[in-house]
Structures are given as C-alpha cells and as structure tokens.
Chain A
Amino acid sequence: MSITDWFSARETKRYTQVADRRVAAPAGSDVPDGVWVKCDGCKRTIYEGELVENGRVCSACGHHFDLTAPQRIELLADEDSFVEFGADLAPCDPLSFVAAKPYGAQLIAATEKSGLPEAVVIGRARIAEQPIVLAVMDFRFIGASMGSVVGEKIARAFETATAERLPIVIVTASGGARMQEGMLSLMQMAKTSAAARQHADAGLVYISVLTNPTYGGVTASFAVLGDVIFAEPGAMIGFAGPKLVEQTTRQKLPKGFQTSESLLEHGMIDGIVARGELGSRIASVIGYLKPVEARAVANGGGF
C-alpha cells in the first residue's frame, strides 16, 4: 500500500539496480573495482559490462535487475524512436505537506537523484517499427508514487494515444499513491482509469507491463486495466504491502506471495515475459489486436 511498508518487508526482494550492487573486483582479476556487481539472485559476482549488455539480466540465473525509465526506454523502444512529451510538467506541493520530511525538500532530492522532473516519462515511440505511445515509471523518484503529475502524464499519454489512434504500452513500477498530495493523489486513480477507459472505448489496445515493484494505488488503477497484462519474472506486485497483509492475515505468507509467478498461477496476468523477449512479444500482441477498421484494411477488406 505504501513504499515504506513495501520496503520494510523482510522477505521481499528489494528494489535494486545494477548500480546499487557494485562490489570489489574478484581476487586475481585484472579488471578494476567499480565495474563488478553482485547478483541478488545467485550471489555471483558479474562484470557490469556483461550485465548491461544483457539488458541488466543475470546471464547465470536470469535475475532481472530493476531499471530506470531511461534504461527501459533504451531497451524497449526502437533506436532513436522515442520522442518525449509532457516533459515540462513538474510537481508542486499543493498541501504544503510538512511532516518529518517536508515534501518540497523530498521533491528536490528526488529530482537530483533521478535527473527527472517526476516519476514517469511519456512519449511517442516505435516497437518493432509499430508506432505507439509509451509510458515508463521510474521508482527512484519517491518510489514512483502517483501524485498529480504522474496522474496527469498517464492521462495525457492515454489521451494522445486515443486522439492519434495508437496502441499504448505502460511499464509500471510504483509504491502506490503519493500520500504527500493527499486526496489529489487518490483521485489520480480515478482520472487515469477514466482515461484508460476512453482509450479502450475507442477500440484501441493497451498493453501493461508490470515490473518490480508495483503496488497500491497504481496497481489498483491503470496498471491492471491493460487488454493484455505482462509481468517481468520475479517482480513483486500487489495491492497491500506484504507486511500489512501479514498483519491482517496473522499468518506467515506463502512462499512466492505477490510475485509475478504467483499472480500468473492465480489468473491475474496474461504472461511472464523475460526482458529480452518483451519487445517482440508486445509487437506480436499489437499485431493481433488492431482496431477493427485497421484490421479490415489489413485483411483486404474481409476478416
């Protein structure tokens, strides 16, 4: 339900990027320190360059390291095809939220840390030469929580796709609604879901890709409204954080609870797709789920 809740869960795989796992060079190696990474999955020490080459997936165990939005876009969109829009939108502090940490200071720190004005990047792009609208969330920015700007950008992404009759692909990662913007954040769940519905009513396809971690108000709104929902292997996905669920349920959670694999088993997602396959799988689905008028043309007027 919240970022902290998610982070405090002992058994949960934490959000870790390649850069967070840099370690000293293995003994006897000629390659210097700083370019070696310890894998969260198999605990092996891997050469960073090899990991990056492999889409930040461990070639030994298949562990998927978490990606920033720019890294994801680079991997998923056709080369040089991504053209961002809505980049000028930046958060303000509508409630003048001052608690232990003032929100205004948190925003400045998040911008410095991520180099982004907010937790989602949206734009026009191509995947396997097919034009789409692409939105990618970045967990480094206050846990990619959804406040006014994230809601606005997701809504604009849907609206642009609807207006230009394009498929939309959204890659999610989020701790949930951003509590520092109070009810304005909660209402973004309704806003983004409404925008998704208009896109759906226009007969256009929405592919949602759930990545580690996706929780709370983002899961419970646009993230799971995709016509087709994919998830990356081993991602943690849920509504309430595991700690809260454990407190509520008063029993130990089953192994693998809230992982992509468990969601697939419970019938909540269409498939688990390894990072290397994601682009081609998305392209296939877009190829099948053309708007009706386009399909008639593609099939020479018939079905």
Chain B
Amino acid sequence: MAKPRHIMEFERPLIELERQLEELRQLDLADNVELSAEIDALAAQIEQLHHETYKHLSPWDRVQIARHPQRPKTQHYVETLFDDVVELHGDRAFGDDEAMFAGLATLDGRRVAVLGHRKGTNTKENIRRNFGSPHPEGFRKAMRVMELAEKFGLPVVSFLDTAGASPGLEDEERGQAWAIAESLAKLSGLKVPVVVVGIGEGGSGGALAIGFGDRLIMLENAYYSVISPEMCAQILYKDASQAETASSCLRMTAADLVGLGVVDEIVSEPLGGAQTAPDQVFEAVRESVNRALLELEAVDAAVLVARRYEKLRAIGEYCSLDE
C-alpha cells in the first residue's frame, strides 16, 4: 500500500477541493449526468488555488514544509551528490551519535569532509537518531572530523536539519553546552573552506554548532532560528499553539535571513517544496556547493579564516549613544 499523503495545514482548502472534484468525477461516471462544465470549472479553480497556495507561503507554511516527513534529508543528499562515501563513526570518548552524520566523500571529483544532522525516514529510525537532535557525542564526532578535514586539507560541507540539540538529562550531564561551544570555536578557526547548506530545520545552537562558515546556502523553505516557533510562542503567549504568530516575529525564513546578512544564497525549490521533485533540488544544491567550493579553494587559508571572522563580526545591529 502506498504511504498516505502527508497533508500540511495550509494545503487543506486545496485538498478539500480536490476531494470535491473527485466526487464530481465519480458522479459523472456513475449517473451519466453531464457535469463536464462543473468539473472543468472546479479543475480551473483548483489550479488557481494551487498556484496561490504555494506562491504565497507564510513563514509558518514554510516551517511545515521544512518539517515535511518526505522532505529530502541529509542522507539523501549524501547518497545522491557524493561518490565513494566513507562514513566515520564515534567521538572516541563516549559513543556514536546517529543523529550526526560525519564522513569523507567525493563531490564531482573533489574530496571533501561531510557533516550533517540526520533525521530518520520512519519512526524506528527516528527513535535511534533521536529525531535528528544530536547529543554531545554527536558534536564531538563532528569536531573530530573537522580536525581531520583540516589536517588533510579537505573542505567541509555541512547539511543542517535539526529541531535543536538534544535537551535531555544525560545531555546536560555530558556537557551539551560545552560540546556546542567547542564546536563553534573550532569551526571559526578551521583552516579549510566551510560550506553550509540549510536543507530543513535550523534549530538554535544545535544547528549553529555545524552551521556557519564561509558560505551559507539555504533552501527556499528551510528555516534557521534562535528558538523554535513553538517555544517562542510558549514564552510570549504562554501558548505553544501561537507558533504561527511567533514564526513571523522571528524572521526565520531564508529570504528574511538574506536581509539580515546571515544567509548568502537561496536555492529555490519546486512549487510545494523539495519533496515534490527532489532530483531538481539535489542538482541545484550540487551546483551551488560546487560553485562555492571552487571560489573558496582559491583563497589562502589565513585569508579564509580572517574573512570568516570579519563576516561573523559584521552580524548584529546596534546603535551608539554618542552619536
């Protein structure tokens, strides 16, 4: 049996019309009643609504697309874009975190190190991978592979797709904050190019730990935020169901973040989201990453690190009381 279609909130009016159209068609067949005019009218209405629905997505609609269960995930990018993938496991201290992918791979003939948050494609996988929320050992594995990349002069390509770092009891006891902070410090001074691709969710510190570099590319419907819209709503309105409002306040979409100077480039998605035509998205990401790597590998390591610092230094807005 085919998987039932995952319906996002904003698609409901469209789905309802599609259901009505299907009923009309059944009626048309069964009763020999001439309904073709009605059917054509409804089909046209659906086409128009389809276009309007997906062309004017609110931040909250995009959050739902970013979380769509059929949306391509890190492992799909790794499988599709790269050849000769060698996955590397473990942090050499505590364990192997399946919520974090790390490995070596070849992208169109170029050797790179790959990092990425890894969600599952089904419940069983998701439980093993903690729904893509890394534990401290995940970030420590990522750091180990960053060091490896630096030692052997490989650029780092990092895929972001996490609701956030795991906030459990054991995560606290094993130093979740320490792991993230150390990863930030390491990434900031890494003497190889770092290209980041936001493919889905970009949740807070858990995303940032592998989520900044020399080029930050984001898919059109991906988000990147300081806090989840639900938690923001909980704080602002004591009501997580106000997440839709919070998602607009937070300015977390790719387009918003280009405006704030955080994101460098947006990769557009097919109408309705990456899950409707994944191959098209893989190709667009391949092209963007390749272009970034080609530019960055020509830059001297010291200049690269200095520019990365300057780029970070420039993010933020404030005023001076002296002026």
Q: Could you tell me which A residues sit within 8 Å of B by CB distance?
A: 1-5, 87-92, 94-95, 97-101, 117, 147-149, 151-152, 155, 177-179, 181-191, 193-194, 196-198, 200-201, 216-217, 219-225, 238-240, 244-245, 248-249, 251, 253-254, 257-258, 262, 266, 268
Kindly name the residue among A188, A220, A254 whose own CB sees the greatest number of chain B CB atoms within 10 A. Answer: A220
B interface SS class: helix
For the complex of A and B, the 4 pairs showing the least CB-CB separation, nearest first, are A148-B316, A240-B167, A194-B188, A193-B184
Contacts of A88 in B (CB 8 A): 320-322
Closest-by-CB residue of A relative to B233 is: A99
A5-B235, A179-B235, A268-B178 in contact; A194/B249 too (CB < 8 A)?
no
Q: Are the CB atoms of A179 and B232 closer together than 8 Å?
A: yes
Q: What is the bound-complex CA distance between A243 and B178, given in angstroms?
A: 20
B187 to chain A, nearest CB (A): 8
Can you name the residue of chain A whose Cβ is closest to the Cβ of B245? A99
In the bound complex, residues from chain A placing their C-beta under 8 Å from that of B309 are: 194, 198
Q: Are B169 and A251 touching (Cβ within 8 A)?
A: yes
Does B172 contact A186, Cβ atoms closer than 8 Å?
Answer: no
B-side interface residues, number (CB < 8 Å): 57
Residue of B nearest to A193 (CB): B184
The answer to whether B313 and A191 have CB atoms under 8 Å apart is yes
> Which B residues lie within 8 Å of A193 (CB)?
181, 184-185, 188
A181 CB to closest chain B CB (Å) equals 8
Q: How far is the CA of A117 from the CA of B171 in the complex (A)?
A: 35
Known: A149-B318, A220-B177. A190 touches B172 (CB 8 A): no
7 A-B Cβ contacts within 8 A?
Answer: A5-B235, A94-B260, A95-B250, A117-B321, A155-B313, A248-B168, A268-B178
DSSP majority for the A interface?
helix
CA distance A221 to B165 in the complex (A): 14
- From the candidates A87, A186, A258, name the one contacting B225 in the complex (CB within 8 A): A186
CB distance from A3 to the nearest CB of B (A): 8
B315 on interface, CB distance cutoff 8 Å: yes
Report chain B residues within 8 Å CB of A87: 321
CA distance A194 to B213 in the complex (A): 11
B227 within 8 A of partner (CB): yes
Most buried by A among B168, B171, B175, B185: B185
Number of A-B contacts (CB under 8 A): 204
User: A137–B239 Cα gap in the complex (Å)?
Assistant: 30
Sample of 10 more A-B contacts, CB < 8 Å, known A148-B316, A194-B185, A197-B189: A1-B227, A3-B235, A89-B318, A179-B227, A182-B260, A190-B212, A193-B188, A220-B205, A225-B182, A239-B171
Bound Cα distance from A151 to B315, whole angstroms = 10
CB distance from B133 to the nearest CB of A (A): 9
Given A182-B250, A193-B185, check contact A1 B231 (CB 8 Å).
Answer: yes
CA distance A262 to B251 in the complex (A): 37
CA A257 – CA B315 in complex, angstroms?
A: 35
Partner pick for B318 among A92, A200, A249, CB 8 A cutoff: A92
Residues in B whose Cβ lies below 8 Å from that of A196: 185
Question: Contact at B208–A186, with CB atoms within 8 Å?
Answer: yes
Report the bound CA distance from A188 to B320 in whole Å.
18
How far apart are the CA atoms of A248 and B163 in the complex, in Å? 13
A92-B319, A182-B226, A194-B185 are contacts. A99–B236 as well, Cβ < 8 Å? Answer: yes
- Structural contact, A148 and B318, CB atoms closer than 8 A: yes
| A268 proximity list for chain B (CB < 8 A) | 175, 178
For B236, the closest partner residue in chain A by CB is: A99
Taking CB atoms, residues of chain B closer than 8 Å to A2 are: 227, 231, 235
